[in-house]
Structure 1
Amino acid sequence: MYGRIATRSFRFPGTPTLLRTTLSSPYTNSRTYAKHNRHKRSIDYRSPTLSPPVSQQTPNPTPKTPGGTPAAAAGAFTASRGSSNVNADSEGREEAALTSGSDSRLNSDPSSRGPEPAKEPIDQSEPRATSHPDYSQLQDEFQTSPSSDANTTPQSTSPSAIDPAQAAKQEQNQPLPDLTKGIPSTLDAELAEASAGSKSSSLDVREDSAEATPGGGRGRELPKTAYISSADRKQERLANYMYAFLFGSVIVGCIYLGRNWENENEEKKHPNAPSGWGFGLFYNRANARMTDTKDYFTEPTFPKLLPNVEPAMERPYTLVLSLEDLLVHSEWTREHGWRTAKRPGVDYFLRYLSQYYELVIFTSLPSMTGDPIIRKLDPYRIVMWPLFREATRYQGGEYIKDLSHLNRNLSKVILLDTSAAHAKQQPENAIILPKWKGDRQDKELVSLIPFLEYAATMGFEDTRSVLKSFEGKHIPTEYARRESIAREKFQQQLAEERAKRPKRSGAGLLGSTLGLGGSLGAGTEPSFSQGFEQGKTLMDQVRERGQKQYEMLEKEIKENGHKWLEEMAAEEKKFQEEAMKNMKGGGILGTFGGMFGGGDGSK
């Protein structure tokens, strides 16, 4: 807001009234009023005194303002209205002075209204509103250049005072900061310059932007930290604290894991990492403890999966069978959900070979899933030991059946499976069969019985050598071919011996013909010789005895099978009752019962 123009009238004796206008300071007499934005009428601008006649005025024209308006008119235009010593007659004269020889364009600013309007000649015949012939000399404020360009010429070469067109051109040439990561912050740069004692000023008077100081240019390259907000800085500090905490935890954990063994059993279990002080010993003990922790989740549940067997009940050979896609096949349909089918001949397979082998079902299914299937498949417990996923080794994303944890001699263990990955640890003990997909005419499983019977009855010291001789061949077909060749040779030798009264045993002839070796042992019954005289080979006689044994087992199941099931159900129920009784007597339930007045408080 501009300062108000105050007018005062001074009357001196013997002199005419002199109008003296003073421009008050905007710092002392400044006032701001809320006024309506309306055009002021000429009657609102009142002259303080009457103008003298034209004859008494000075012949020099009244100086004009830069906009072309007479100085007297401008002074009268900006004079204060409502003066107490102005009469009605002076109001009329001032209105005549303002309306004569003047135009409304004289009040407009030439710097904002375009080109300067044409100057009109002043009519000297009409009275003027000047109050004194030397008015322009008394008012130094109005002694300005008549040209409007003089007021707009920049007095400084700083960016704030140069021509807008030139400033825009300079800004286009200067590179702008990268705003893709947000509005950059210049606080860090300003603080850095202040700390470094920079003497650069924000107003650089040099025209060449390349010579400007680093603190005065708009298009200078800012550091990456200028684009980071305070929230991001807090997150970075928090992350650094977390990293430091984790690093410290790792160091402390390594020191704790590398401590000395707590007892002698642990030290004996890890002979390569004895107790003592030293970086190498610390590392070995920490590595041993971490390996034990990992093995807890990846190794079998127990180091010995099968218990020790009494010699009287021990069978010389162990047959490990897979469950899924070997003995049964499970599938899911929208109509029936999950259904499990039993492979053709699986009952005969299990019951017949149970007289030669210790049967073990080893599945990669969890116990909660596999146990109900085994109960349905083998209700009379022909299979001695079931093993589930908890007994497998997890390695490389696969479940491996490690036979070394069976607590059995591996030279007399045979594994039947449908996945080679399950037998990765002992492939020489495994027979890999194709998966059964539910074919009702399948006979692949039953066709293996003659070979498995032969491997168990011939008394081999190492069954792995027998499997090695059939490597890469279809075992049922190859065994049938070898057995037929052995039978033909046996018949020829039998005919020759009958003519010459042979002294050689038929068992030795069969073993040498098959090329597998072995013998019947010292407990050979004389009935075998009678079978040889009848033209029966050793395997024929073994198969006849095995078939009779199977028939006896089937007869026993038909007569007493339901009794066996009832006895097993009663034993299982009794076991559950005893477990609940132990829990109530001394377990968690007994403890809570005694606390709240239930059960036997003396226990």
Structure 2
Amino acid sequence: MLSRAVLPLSRPNVFASAVRASTLSARPSPYTAYKLSPAIQLRAKSNKSKSNTPKAAPKDFTAEQPEFDTKAEPTQPSESVEQEQAPQTPLPDLTQGIPSTLAAELEGRMKKGPLNLTEDPAQSEEYGADGRGGGDIPKGGYETSIDRRKARMANIVYAAMLLAGVAGMGYLGRNWETEEEASQHPEIPSGWSPGLWYSRIKARTSDLTSYYKDPAFPKLLPDEDAEMRQPYTLVLSLEDLLVHSEWTREHGWRVAKRPGVDYFLRYLNQYYELVLFTSVPSMMADQVLRKLDPYRIIRWPLFREATRYKDGEYIKDLQYLNRDLSKVILIDTKEEHARYQPENAIVLDKWTGDPKDKTLVALIPFLEYLAGMGVEDVRTVLKSFDGTPIPVEFAKREKAMRERFEKDLAEEQKKKPSRGLGNFAAALGLKSSATLNGEQTPSEGLAQGKMLWDQIRERGQKNYEMIESEIRANGEKWLAEMAAEEEKARQEQMQSMKGSFTGIFGAGSKDQ
């Protein structure tokens, strides 16, 4: 320990350095020292360094190296370079709000990764965010064994799916196996030609989806004796024909009934079998129908479940009605609904809620004429009115028929005034016969100068008045009876449901 303390004192020049340090802290002399020449000072410093300081270690560089001959130039910071290169844009107007930074963020995401293994700026853009460039190494070199295994399994799955599809098409295109299948598609016989094969594939595929596209039943209306019902069928739409629905913020949903609907339905009920055919779902249309027709003047309601779906449209196929199409008339507001039977359709403009509308009432004389005169095929008559407003055109034709009738009647009276007008009725094929309720015979009406068409209209007005009187007298009673029947049916349904539940639990307790 003593040797370690004495060792620093034994070193050379220790005492001289201590004395030199003490002299530096003394007060300087007021006299100016003699200034030596630079050469003498340099020589003295070199001798002093050789005697007092240890030998210096060799340096790794010298001042004579060529690198030290270059002149240092100040470099500009990178930020200033970017500022010089970037174009100057005006500052955003913060009075309109803080501008969006979405475009800058999306642009930053679209930039490629900065990875560049070659340290070559020309190839820096070839590297993506995943580090896979387009250099000498192919892209397959970056794939692992797991990636190759996944790709191989995917190819196997694709091949299996292709084989299954080909086999399925071959199975669907086979010949008809039963006579029932052949009878359902008489236009597609069995055979091995590509056309027949494709037709059978298409037919079987459509049969699989027909459950969702075709009507719920092949016969939408039941079979009835033609003598027990009206010979003609009038099919009516609901939305924008009989009613109009609209929604407002003040009142919500509201449904308006078209002017003349009650008169239209009750008057034509004596000539036509009325059918409501709408594309609205039953859960929505049934509630509207109960308010629109509380006395069940419309015999058969058909909803969306009875329509046919094709190309995004609900089509009303009249072939499923189980009625003679020569005696069927469809009144609708959309041509798409009558795509399959346009010759049976009368397409009217949509009713938008005008309280002064009289379209339905104006259409009654034409429909009454078709049913009252016993037209064999309504499609022929409807075709003659194609492209014209039916009420206006029918009024013109009726006026022409009346003028011709009056002219013929006047000529007949001039020729044979003694024989009377009964012979004129016989010439038209009308025979006198007794009628019920004291009604006029056709011959008596002609004797009074009335057209047969006028007599049919008078009879229709009397029947309508009789129906109205019955509704006014017994309407409340009918509604009460219908409500009682519905309540009874509901109670029976509840009892049957309770019985099924108790039977299930009772059977379980007996087994235990």
Q: Tell me, yes or no, whether TM beats 0.5.
A: yes
Take 1:409 and 1:521, find their aligned partners in 2: how far apart are those partners?
Answer: 30
Root-mean-square deviation (CA, aligned residues, Å) is 3.9
How big is the shift at 1:321? 0.6
Aligned counterpart in structure 1 of residue 472 of structure 2, from 541, 558, 563: 558
Take 2:509 and 2:290, find their aligned partners in 1: how far apart are those partners?
Answer: 41
Q: Aligned residue for 2:353? A: 438
How big is the shift at 1:176? 5.7
Aligned counterpart in structure 2 of residue 473 of structure 1, from 388, 401, 424: 388
1:145-164 to 2 correspondences below 5 Å: none
Instruction: Look up the equivalent residue of 2:481 and give its one-letter code.
Output: E
Q: Aligned residue for 2:95? A: none
Instruction: Look up the equivalent residue of 1:338 and give its one-letter code.
Output: W
Instruction: Look up the equivalent residue of 2:304 and give its one-letter code.
Output: R
Q: How many residues align?
A: 410
Take 1:446 and 1:455, find their aligned partners in 2: how far apart are those partners?
Answer: 15
Q: Aligned residue for 2:131? A: 183
Q: Aligned residue for 2:506? A: 594
How big is the shift at 1:329? 0.3
Q: Percent identity?
A: 55
| Alpha carbons 2:173, 2:197 under 8 Å: kept | yes
Take 1:550 and 1:111, find their aligned partners in 2: how far apart are those partners?
Answer: 129
Give CA deviations for 1:68-124 in whole Å, capped at 9, x if unaligned: xxxxxxxxxxxxxxxxxxxxxxxxxxxx999668664x443228996799xxxxxxx
1:451-470 to 2 correspondences below 5 Å: 451-470=366-385
Q: Does residue 425 of the first structure (1) align with residue 340 of the second (2)?
A: yes
How big is the shift at 1:413? 0.7
SS at structure 1 position matched to 2:226: coil
Q: Aligned residue for 2:457? A: 543
1:485-524 to 2 correspondences below 5 Å: 485-499=400-414, 500-501=416-417, 505=424
How big is the shift at 1:293? 1.1
| Alpha carbons 1:458, 1:520 under 8 Å: kept | no
Change beyond 3 A, Cα 1:531–1:417: same
Instruction: Look up the equivalent residue of 1:178 and give its one-letter code.
Output: E
Take 1:421 and 1:507, find their aligned partners in 2: how far apart are those partners?
Answer: 47
SS at structure 2 position matched to 1:312: helix
Change beyond 3 A, Cα 1:343–1:234: farther
Change beyond 3 A, Cα 1:384–1:266: same
Take 1:590 and 1:255, find their aligned partners in 2: how far apart are those partners?
Answer: 52
SS at structure 2 position matched to 1:439: coil
Instruction: Using the TM superposition, name which of 339-348 and 273-282 deviates more.
Output: 273-282
Q: Aligned residue for 2:239? A: 324
1:18-37 to 2 correspondences below 5 Å: none
Q: Which runs of 5+ in 2 are unaligned?
A: 1-7, 12-47, 69-117
| Alpha carbons 1:110, 1:116 under 8 Å: kept | no
Q: Which runs of 5+ in 1 are unaligned?
A: 1-40, 45-95, 118-169, 186-218, 510-518
How big is the shift at 1:497? 2.5
SS at structure 2 position matched to 1:414: strand
Instruction: Look up the equivalent residue of 1:541 and give its one-letter code.
Output: Q
Instruction: Look up the equivalent residue of 1:183 and give its one-letter code.
Output: G
SS at structure 2 position matched to 1:338: strand
Give CA deviations for 1:342-384 in whole Å, capped at 9, x if unaligned: 0001000000000000001110101111111111111111011
Take 2:67 and 2:369, find their aligned partners in 1: how far apart are those partners?
Answer: 127
Q: Does residue 110 of the first structure (1) align with residue 61 of the second (2)?
A: yes
Give CA deviations for 1:194-220 in whole Å, capped at 9, x if unaligned: xxxxxxxxxxxxxxxxxxxxxxxxx84
SS at structure 2 position matched to 1:292: helix
Q: Aligned residue for 1:247? A: 162
1:260-409 to 2 correspondences below 5 Å: 265-266=180-181, 268-270=183-185, 286-409=201-324
Instruction: Look up the equivalent residue of 1:180 and give its one-letter code.
Output: G
Change beyond 3 A, Cα 1:455–1:504: farther
Take 1:113 and 1:560, find their aligned partners in 2: how far apart are those partners?
Answer: 131
Instruction: Look up the equivalent residue of 1:532 and give its one-letter code.
Output: L
How big is the shift at 1:506? 5.4
Q: Aligned residue for 1:214? A: none
Take 2:496 and 2:200, find their aligned partners in 1: how far apart are those partners?
Answer: 40
How big is the shift at 1:527? 1.7
Take 2:398 and 2:187, find their aligned partners in 1: how far apart are those partners?
Answer: 53
How big is the shift at 1:237? 5.2
TM-score calculated relative to the size of structure 1: 0.60
SS at structure 1 position matched to 2:477: helix
Instruction: Look up the equivalent residue of 2:488 and give its one-letter code.
Output: K
| Alpha carbons 2:433, 2:441 under 8 Å: kept | no
Take 1:114 and 1:592, find their aligned partners in 2: how far apart are those partners?
Answer: 108
Q: Aligned residue for 1:131? A: none
TM-score calculated relative to the size of structure 2: 0.69
Take 1:320 and 1:554, find their aligned partners in 2: how far apart are those partners?
Answer: 23
Change beyond 3 A, Cα 1:332–1:316: same
Change beyond 3 A, Cα 1:469–1:110: same
Give CA deviations for 1:544-569 in whole Å, capped at 9, x if unaligned: 11011011111111111122222222
SS at structure 2 position matched to 1:381: coil
Larger radius of gyration: 1
Take 1:111 and 1:236, find their aligned partners in 2: how far apart are those partners?
Answer: 64
Structure possessing the higher relative contact order (Cα contacts under 8 Å, 6 or more residues apart): 2
Q: Aligned residue for 2:365? A: 450
Take 2:284 and 2:492, find their aligned partners in 1: how far apart are those partners?
Answer: 25
Take 1:225 and 1:111, find their aligned partners in 2: how far apart are those partners?
Answer: 53
